[in-house]
Amino acid sequence: MSDNLLTLEGVHTHIGAYHILHGVDLAVPRGQLTMLLGRNGAGKTTTLRTIMGLWKASAGKITLGGRDITALPTPQIASLGVAYVPENMGIFADLTVRENMLLAARGAKTTAQIDDARLQWIFSLFPAVEKFWNHPAGKLSGGQKQMLAVSRAIVEPRELLVIDEPSKGLAPAIINNMIDAFGQLKASGVTILLVEQNFNFAKRLGDTVAVMDNGRIVHAGAMKDLAEDEELQHSLLGLAL
Amino acid sequence: MNKLDLDWKPLALVPLLALLVLPFIGSSSTWVTLTVAGLAMGMIIFIIASGLTLVFGLMDVLNFGHGVFIALGAFVATSVLGAMADYTASGSLWTNLLAVLPAMVVAMLVAAAVGLAFERFIVRPVYGNHLKQILITMGGMIIGEELIKVIWGPLQIPLPLPEGLRGSYYLGDAAVEKYRLLAVIVGLLVFAVLLWTLTRTKIGLLIRAGVQDREMVESLGYRISILFVGVFVVGSALAGLGGVMWGLYQQNVIPQMGAQVNVLIFIVLIIGGLGSTTGALIGALLVGLMANYTGFLVPKAALFSNIVLMMAILLWRPQGVYALSR
């Protein structure tokens, strides 16, 4: 059995008349944190949305744990243990923090049925989630919303976390908090695919890295190698990062 | 940040409107009569509109065919109540209710079943395309009206109130019609059940979340298409119930009655804010009160008074009184 949890082979995606992904090949090793980097418009978000089935691949194959998920509807992909945090965080602003968490806990009908030990672990990672438990999520700050979005993704054990630019617009202190949290998640054995533009954030967390440009993967390898090679960084990422 | 930051201003609109017109009406007993009549009319409109606000808010479907379920409910009621004439002729309120309740249940079941087919064959192919939705649902309503004519005939059918629901109770000099009290009770019950479902159950949570961000609900692993069907069927059933109430309120039914009420429903939804049940209740009560007050004070203005009300509300809150985040 391959030790890659997720693989994309020659994935093409069209959005209306636009051809966005031009044959993406990507492997996400099990239990590791893979960073997907690239400038704006390179196709990172489209790649994540295609993995989630929110946009359908027009060609190519996506497998999760060896199973072909290319044509599966989004709810079924999520039910296979994939949690998605979109770039806009996808917070339900009119619901409370508690209600947002309850929705993500598919196995629980009431908050009391959410695994308490896991909830306490989430509270230790993100104290703001506990502090504002009964408050409308729409009233949280940007950083608190991001914490809620990640908390929601991990409220139940998942095979794979797919997260789009978690550091975007956050203050440095909150970014450090996020790095700690993702470090703990990684240590717990969760596989993570994370889109990022902040290279300092990326190099502190990533085990492996893939760089996109013009809808293709133009580099893939160990994050350590990219972090140590400034010339390669410059050639792949330019000034965007 | 306050966790109980209830937006109370829209809630104050109903008593505010009632108090504002009191000096113009003069007689307090007339005011009480008009106010109860307006609240009853508003409750019936709420029952009809509550389903559509969820269909509109959650599914983003402009269902201009909603009226056909209202007419269907009313016509089913004529058949059920006609078959239970012994019960409706009794002077006992409880015996009357033994006929009215089955009429409501059967009307809801028939409207729900037709709603299921309507969603599958008419609405589902046009998800995401508003223009096609308007055209095809209006077409669906025309077909529905013609089918009603085939089954029940094209003429107006009387739907008299059961004996025990006729007449009024008197509070001093103010007359409060018995049926309007029943309408208020049924409306409050529907509101309570909807509110409980939406705020206390996971299904309700999913509906509220789906109104805000359908894609994210799917990303959490829920099949929103099933939720869509459920909400559409419940919305149709509520329209059927509203049809029974409206038919008894008018005491006659015609195949076009749904189309006639459609305008009022959309005014209510726009005032309330798409997808908001509480907003729909406030909108319906305002529309009911406004229709009764202007009907008494300035009868010639009654026709357009609700349009003026809607414009005033939209100038204050362009997304309706309880706009949802999207």
Convert the pLDDT of each residue in A163-220 to its tens digit.
Answer: 999 888 788 888 888 888 888 888 888 999 999 888 888 888 899 999 999 999 999 9
Listed by number, the residues of chain A in 134-163 with a beta carbon closer than 8 Å to a beta carbon of chain B are: 134-136, 138-139, 152
C-alpha angle with apex B262: B30 to B25, nearest 5 degrees? Answer: 15
Under an 8 A CB cutoff, do B325 and A96 touch? Answer: no
Q: Is the pLDDT of residue B58 over 80?
A: no
Q: What is the per-residue pLDDT for B175? A: 84
Q: Which residue of B has its CA nearest to A88?
A: B216
Residue B91's contacts (CB-CB under 8 Å, 6 or more residues apart) are B163, B164
The C-alpha of B201 sits at a distance from chain A's nearest C-alpha, in angstroms, of 8
Residue B3's contacts (CB-CB under 8 Å, 6 or more residues apart) are A96, A134, A135, A136
| Annotated domain spans of chain A | 1-81+160-166+191-241, 84-157
C-alpha angle with apex A72: A69 to A73, nearest 5 degrees? Answer: 140
Name which of A48, A69, A74, A100 to mutate to probe chain B: the one with the most chain B Cβ atoms within 10 A of its Cβ.
Answer: A74
User: Are B271 and B286 spatial neighbours (Cβ–Cβ below 8 Å)?
Assistant: yes
C-alpha angle with apex A154: A148 to A160, nearest 5 degrees? Answer: 125
Average pLDDT, chain A: 92
Q: Please tell me whether the overall predicted TM-score, pTM, comes out greater than 0.95 for this model.
A: no
Distance CA B213, CA A85 (A): 13
Q: How far is CA B176 from CA A19, B168, B251, in A?
A: 67, 5, 17
Under an 8 A CB cutoff, do B1 and A132 touch? Answer: yes
Q: Which residues of B touch A104 (CB under 8 A)?
A: 220
Distance CA A37, CA A155 (A): 26
How many other CB atoms sit within 10 Å of the CB of residue A23?
14
On whether ipTM exceeds 0.85, the answer is: yes
User: Are B7 and B282 spatial neighbours (Cβ–Cβ below 8 Å)?
Assistant: no
User: Are B272 and B282 spatial neighbours (Cβ–Cβ below 8 Å)?
Assistant: yes
> Is pLDDT larger for residue A122 or for residue B60?
A122
Residue indicated by tokens 């993500």: A104
Q: Is the dihedral of CA B228, B230, B235, B237 positive or negative?
A: positive
Q: What would the pLDDT profile of B168-215 be if each residue is shown by its tens digit?
A: 888 888 888 899 999 999 999 999 999 999 889 999 999 889 888 889
Homologous superfamily in CATH for domain A1-81+160-166+191-241: P-loop containing nucleotide triphosphate hydrolases (3.40.50.300)
Distance CA B290, CA B214 (A): 35
Q: Which residues of B touch A78 (CB under 8 A)?
A: 218-221
How confident is the prediction along chain A (241 residues), in pLDDT tens digits per residue?
459 999 999 999 999 889 999 999 999 999 999 999 998 889 999 999 999 999 999 999 999 999 999 999 999 999 999 999 999 999 999 899 999 999 999 999 999 999 999 999 999 989 999 999 999 999 999 989 999 999 999 999 999 999 999 888 788 888 888 888 888 888 888 999 999 888 888 888 899 999 999 999 999 999 999 988 888 888 877 644 4
Q: How far is CA A22 from CA A26, A39, A58, A164, B70, in A?
A: 12, 16, 10, 20, 52
User: Are B27 and B219 spatial neighbours (Cβ–Cβ below 8 Å)?
Assistant: no
* Residue range B27-316, CATH number: 1.10.3470
**Encoded tokens for A157:** 């054990």
| Annotated domain spans of chain B | 27-316
